[in-house]
Amino acid sequence: MPRTAAEKRAALVTALASDRLLIAPGVFEMISAKLADQRNFDALYLTGYGLAASHLGVPDAGIASYADVLERARVIANGTETPLICDADTGFGGLLNVRTTILGFEAAGCAAIQLEDQESPKRCGLTAGCRVISAADMVRKLEVALDARTDPHFLLIARTDAYGEHGFDAALDRAIRYAHAGADLVFVQGLQTEAELAQVAEQTAKPCIVNISSGDGLGALPPARLRELGCAIAIFPGLAMLAAAAAIDSAYKTLQDDRSIGNLATALYERDAMHRLMGFESVWEFERRWLGRD
């Protein structure tokens, strides 16, 4: 039997209480989600950048709507066994929007939701020009979010993007305030050093999330060291999206250049494995039982 949303949330809460670093690869549609799901990761991370790019073909700049993200989250949460962490941007508006967002994503089966303190329209935290609302306004959003949830195991992640605009000290102050407001986890986008991560973890006294976007800086540290510094979850939002884009682009270039696929440099996922991944075996079993087909 598939795990219920409550069971997946409880599993994530239990994993967070352990002394190991949890790994959450980024997923952006159902092929990436199913592939990650069969690897038994601790959680999946629905990346806003990847969703906007794959679903709408637009930048992660506040263009994807609440309805766009909610529907993709619902499909992935219900189509996988791994707890799903969803990037819900700024909560898609004001306080009433935040309340609706929490109720919607909890009902969709997500295990955790991430809210950030950017102005609307937001933009990807790895790009220039991010601007933040006041810390007081973000605290109010968090208070509304915590009041709206009905399952205490539905975790609330408070993210601040203040580092790029105001520096580390301002970002740390916000993280502390968001932790005091009741956020279950804190996420300071843009941390650069081990000392910064350790300071956030110590002063917030909350599990921390680190965004690993490259193999240098914090991304070069062994998992045990990240955990020692106070990181509870390492997310890899762009890994699948960038790997897929590179493979597809390479395959298309070969097809364009050679007008055939005889000399592909890119390895192809086996067709039979894709059939299994998509669940064709259950279709065939149904047809054997009810239609008498071999």
Query: pLDDT of 44-85, one tens digit each?
Result: 999 999 999 999 999 999 999 999 999 999 999 999 999 999
Q: What is the extent of the structural domain holding 280?
A: 264-294
| Pair 82, 202 in one domain | yes
Is 259 within a domain?
no
Look-up: residue for tokens 């890994």? 239
Is 253 within a domain?
no
Is 249 within a domain?
no
Residue 128 in this model has a pLDDT that exceeds 80: no
Split into its structural domains, the chain has a count of 2
| Pair 291, 189 in one domain | no
Kindly give the interhelix angle for 280-291 and 271-278, rounded to the nearest 10 degrees.
70
| Pair 142, 281 in one domain | no
Residue 3 has what DSSP assignment? P
Render pLDDT for 214-271 as a digit per residue (tens, 0 to 9). Answer: 888 999 999 999 999 999 999 999 999 999 999 999 999 999 999 999 999 999 999 9
| Pair 216, 277 in one domain | no
Render pLDDT for 85-113 as a digit per residue (tens, 0 to 9). Answer: 999 999 999 999 999 999 999 999 999 99
d(CA 114, CA 216): 25
| Pair 197, 76 in one domain | yes
Query: Exposed/middle/buried for 82, CB within 10 Å: 0-12, 13-18, 19+?
Result: buried
Is 252 within a domain?
no
| Pair 233, 294 in one domain | no
pTM for the model: 0.96
Catalytic residues, by residue number, are: 124
What CATH number is associated with residue 145?
Answer: 3.20.20.60
Comparing C-alpha atoms, which of 214, 211, 209, 212 is closest to residue 230? 209
